[in-house]
């Protein structure tokens, strides 16, 4: 009974499949034999290609615009960097390295000039209180100055070491170098230290010097750890004399200081 009912359904299904195949064959023949339909299909494809091309061109133009904006930003940033570089080159802090012909080889430090250390004589009560770094190429004044008495002048002497250390010997003359820390706005000399505070950069370290305690006073200066000397200057001409400095306990608290100990120093920049 079941097999008898199933046979007509199979025949109907086979008939539908045959009709479908014949329809597809007719549709294919129609496509091949109908130029207008082919033309329509080609135009449709061309329209899709043009649409895709337009969309691609728009994306390319958007990318080009974005690239141009990025290039403008890069140019602007380069200009800002150049301006900041020029600005940094216009600023800085100067300091003097006593006892050296050169400046420290640290980042952003350059030499302004070097020369001879000068100042008042150890035995004269008057004169300038500060010590000078005198250039190698002085320029003479183009005029004279009248004074009341023929000897109414201050005096400027050279400077000599009164100790020996490393390559330096007693009586040799003291060189100096004026330096500029380009990436800094201030410098400071700290006595009693060989290191700088946090955020400060060390320019050089050394030991504290002054006049002898029984001579006329001079300022305390930081002499480089490894001093140079002026060639051919080992003559006892005196002038501004450099002596190392030692601590004396009493009003100076010990500890933290120790009695009769050489005092170090450091020059820092920020």
pLDDT tens column, 4-21: 444 455 565 566 566 656
Considering 49, 72, 88, which residue would you say is the last residue of a domain? 88
Which residues lie across from 246 on neighbouring strands?
262
In whole angstroms, give the CA distance from residue 172 to residue 160.
5
Q: Please, what's the largest Cα pairwise distance for the chain?
A: 155
Residue 86 has pLDDT above 80, yes or no: no
Judgement on whether residues 60 and 128 belong to the same structural domain of the protein? no
Burial (0-12, 13-18, 19+ Cβ within 10 Å), 202 = middle
Helices 35-89 & 2-33, crossing angle to 10 degrees? 70
Q: Which two tokens stand for residue 164?
A: 């020996």
Judgement on whether residues 115 and 184 belong to the same structural domain of the protein? yes
Q: Which two tokens stand for residue 99?
A: 């006892």
| Residue labelled with tokens 């890069």 | 74
Judgement on whether residues 83 and 101 belong to the same structural domain of the protein? no
In whole angstroms, give the CA distance from residue 177 to residue 33.
100
pLDDT tens column, 88-103: 556 789 999 999 999 9
Judgement on whether residues 59 and 117 belong to the same structural domain of the protein? no
Judgement on whether residues 46 and 160 belong to the same structural domain of the protein? no
Judgement on whether residues 82 and 106 belong to the same structural domain of the protein? no
Q: Which two tokens stand for residue 182?
A: 């380009």
Q: How much of the chain, in percent, has pLDDT values that exceed 70?
A: 83
Decide if 172 contacts 162 (C-beta within 8 A): no
Judgement on whether residues 109 and 176 belong to the same structural domain of the protein? yes
Judgement on whether residues 83 and 120 belong to the same structural domain of the protein? no
- Name the domain count of the chain: 2
pLDDT band at 222 (very low <50, low <70, confident <90, very high): very high
In whole angstroms, give the CA distance from residue 136 to residue 111.
14
Q: Which two tokens stand for residue 61?
A: 């133009």
For 32, the 3-state DSSP assignment is: helix
Judgement on whether residues 239 and 119 belong to the same structural domain of the protein? yes
């Amino acid at each position: 009974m079941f097999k008898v009912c199933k046979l007509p359904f199979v025949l109907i299904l086979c008939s539908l499949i045959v009709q479908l195949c014949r329809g597809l064959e007719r549709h294919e023949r129609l496509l091949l034999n109908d130029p207008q339909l082919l033309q329509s299909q080609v135009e449709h494809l061309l329209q899709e290609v043009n649409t895709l091309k337009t969309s691609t061109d728009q994306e390319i133009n958007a990318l080009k615009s974005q690239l141009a904006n990025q290039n403008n930003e890069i140019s602007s940033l380069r200009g800002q960097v150049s301006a900041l570089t020029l600005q940094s080159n216009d600023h800085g802090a100067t300091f003097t390295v006593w006892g050296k012909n050169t400046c420290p080889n640290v980042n952003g430090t350059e030499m302004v000039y070097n020369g001879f250390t000068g100042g008042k004589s150890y035995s004269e009560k008057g004169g300038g209180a500060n010590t000078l770094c005198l250039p190698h190429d002085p320029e003479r004044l183009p005029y004279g100055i009248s004074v009341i008495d023929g000897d109414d002048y201050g005096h400027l002497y050279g400077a000599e070491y009164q100790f020996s250390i490393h390559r330096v010997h007693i009586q040799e003359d003291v060189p100096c170098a004026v330096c500029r820390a380009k990436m800094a706005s201030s410098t400071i000399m700290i006595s009693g230290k060989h290191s700088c505070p946090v955020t400060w950069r060390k320019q050089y370290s050394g030991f504290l010097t002054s006049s002898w305690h029984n001579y006329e006073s001079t300022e305390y200066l930081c002499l480089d750890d490894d001093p140079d000397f002026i060639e051919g200057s080992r003559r006892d001409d005196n002038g501004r004399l450099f002596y190392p400095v030692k601590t004396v306990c009493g009003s100076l608290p010990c500890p933290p200081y120790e009695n009769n100990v050489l005092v170090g120093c450091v020059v820092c920049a920020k």
